[in-house]
Amino acid sequence: MSVAVPPANADVAVEPPAERERFQSLRRLLRQPAAAVALTVLALLVLLVVLAPLVGRYDPTEVAPRDQLQGPSAMHWFGTDELGRDLYSRIVWGGRLALGIAVAATAIAMLLGTLWGGIAAMRGGLVDEILMRIVDGIMSIPIILTALILVAAFGASVTSLALILGLLHVPVTARMVRSAILVERHTEYCVAATAAGASWWRLLRREILPNTTPTLLVQASLNAASIILTEAALSFVGLGIQPPDATWGTLLQQGYAKIYTAYWFVIFPGLFIFITIWALNVLADQLQVVLDPREAHR
Amino acid sequence: MSAPTTPSGGEAPLVTIRDLVKRYRQGRGGSRAHEVVAVDGVSLEIRAGETFALVGESGSGKSTVAKMLLRLEPPTSGTIEFEGRDVWALDRAGLKTLRRRLAIVFQNPVASLNRRRTVEEIIAAPLEIHRMGDRGARRRRVHELLELVGLDTVHARRLPSALSGGQCQRVGIARALALEPRLVILDEAVSAVDVSIRAQILNLLRDLQELTGVAYLFISHDLAVVHSIAPRLAVMQHGRIVEAGTRTEVFGRPQHEYTRALLAAVPEPDPANPFPLRRTKESA
């Protein structure tokens, strides 16, 4: 009785739905060991700062004069600072600020940068010329310098830091996005859409941007890395988030003053900055390898 | 068959091209910059419902004519009329109508489809652009078009990467036909597919023409294919039309030496059956 009858819908079952193919690059990304490690590290960091109220252990601003500058122990995993505050808690809560600013600023940079580069690439001619010369102008000044001036002028609240750092990364993003769009713009599928009457806006949104997601993702991770570094640098020179709150850059600067007496004070904040930047750069690198076939065969 | 380039009937031609010229400036700057003449005084007429072929080797200016007709690139001089209206003097509404009545199918079936969008999205795009029907109506139309070009409705959910070259070309044809155009430009539309698939696609194109009454501007370098599909044709060389007429005239008594050279280059001479389609590859 057990005759192997192929199910009538066998053909439907092996059907590769478009949705699954769309996630193929993500699965290929996760198969790269370096990318998997980087993504795990980033996920853990995000989890840590999101769950700060639960995993923070101590109040990061609670002063305990008798516990000042203690080394790492079971009670204070990363030791304490000169006011006896638990360094682990301060790093977790500081990361919440640092990563929060980074996410918001990256979102601003990607949104406006894509719009800017997109309009330049799609409109071409004089519009392109004007928009890109502005980009060249802004990019000729180091980001950190402009950031210093703007923060000094507009203050160092979380909002203003996110806005300033986001806006300062718009030009880099615009330049990358523009060149990615120019590659796609004259392909046959774009000409076909134009011939069917698609407006440049529709062409950009519906046809071209879906094909530039790889570049956008890579640019987003590079932006996030650069924003975290710049924010840390600003905090290090005292222009970042003001006390009693602290980001990793502030902690690094406070620890730097005690580098000979309390090594842990500078090492742990530094380590977190390092790991985050490393993970983001590896991610950008691996994304490029996975999404760009020419890179894949190197 | 009627007269070569000027149709005899009282009906106005669908496309009238007069003295079309396109020059490109090579390199930047100065007035002495080197100029390339891509199209040099081309005139032709295409009637409603017919297949007109433009033949020539690559670089002869055929595709540039198509781009100017599609209003993708402005001509240097000359006029193009579609349905009696100057294509390059259309107002907004007129341009919208042109986009609806004129479509194109490209040579590379894979590159002409957006690799990130499903077949359904690709075919429905022209309908969306011209705001035809709601989502459900568009889906029904897509399924109708898929069946029309010989594909199954299960293909609707796939990405172009899951289809063969021939299937992709059918999707391209379905997209071109979505808005029921009056003229479809077939720019080397069967040049990139296998010989066996080529015959199928040519038959499909013939059937679709019979069914919908669409006219084709068939651009090709392949004389055997042109012979099998186009009753009237023009031969282009260096941007000029060097010979035009009916299939019988051009293939039977080629006047211009370039046409003779093209013909000689194609199949093995066989007086009984001068242009057999399947010979094209073997004799190449």
Distance in angstroms (rounded) separating the CA atoms of residues A234 and A149: 11
In a domain, residue B65? The reply is yes
Chain A 4-23, residues with CB within 8 Å of chain B CB atoms: 12, 15-18, 21-22
Distance from chain centroid for Cα B39: 17
> In this structure, are strands B77-82 and B15-25 parallel, antiparallel, or unpaired?
antiparallel
pLDDT reported for residue B30: 56
Does residue B161 belong to the interface with chain A, where contact is any CB pair within 8 Å?
A: yes
pLDDT reported for residue A89: 87
One-letter identity of residue B248: T
Which residues in chain B belong to E strands, given as ranges? 15-25, 35-46, 51-55, 77-82, 85-86, 102-105, 183-187, 215-220, 232-237, 240-246
Q: Tell me the pLDDT of chain A averaged across its residues.
A: 85
Domain count, chain B: 1
Range of the domain at B274: 15-282
Q: Which residues of chain A carry a pLDDT beneath 70?
A: 1-23, 292-298
Nearest to B103 among A195, A198, A211 (CB): A195
Q: Coil, helix or strand for B38?
A: strand
The residues near A212 (Cβ < 8 Å, ≥ 6 apart) are: A177, A180, A181, A184
Q: What DSSP string runs through A114-163?
A: HHHHHHHHHH-HHHHHHHHHHHHHHHTS-HHHHHHHHHHHH---HHHHHH
Q: Tell me the pLDDT of chain B averaged across its residues.
A: 86
Which of A124-128, B22-26, B105-109 has the largest mean confidence? A124-128
Q: Is B112–A211 a contact, with Cβ atoms under 8 angstroms apart?
A: no
The 3 state secondary structure assigned to A177-191 is HHHHHHHHHCCHHHH
For testing contact with chain A, the best of B129, B183, B184 (most A CBs within 10 A): B129
In a domain, residue B7? The reply is no
CA distances from B128 to A17, A202, B110, B133, B181 (A): 23, 11, 22, 8, 15
The residues near B62 (Cβ < 8 Å, ≥ 6 apart) are: B54, B55, B56, B187, B219, B236
In a domain, residue B241? The reply is yes
pLDDT reported for residue B85: 92
pLDDT reported for residue A297: 45
Residue B169's pLDDT band, with cuts at 50, 70 and 90, is: very high
pLDDT reported for residue B31: 58
> In this structure, are strands B183-187 and B102-105 parallel, antiparallel, or unpaired?
parallel
The four Cα atoms A63, A64, A65, A67 give a dihedral, to 10 degrees, of: -130
* Structure-model confidence comparison of residues A144 and B57, the more confident one: A144
Please state the domain extents for chain A.
31-57+71-296
Class of A31-57+71-296 in CATH: mainly alpha
> What CATH number did the domain enclosing B208 receive?
3.40.50.300
Does residue B126 belong to the interface with chain A, where contact is any CB pair within 8 Å?
A: yes
Nearest to A21 among B100, B159, B179 (CB): B159
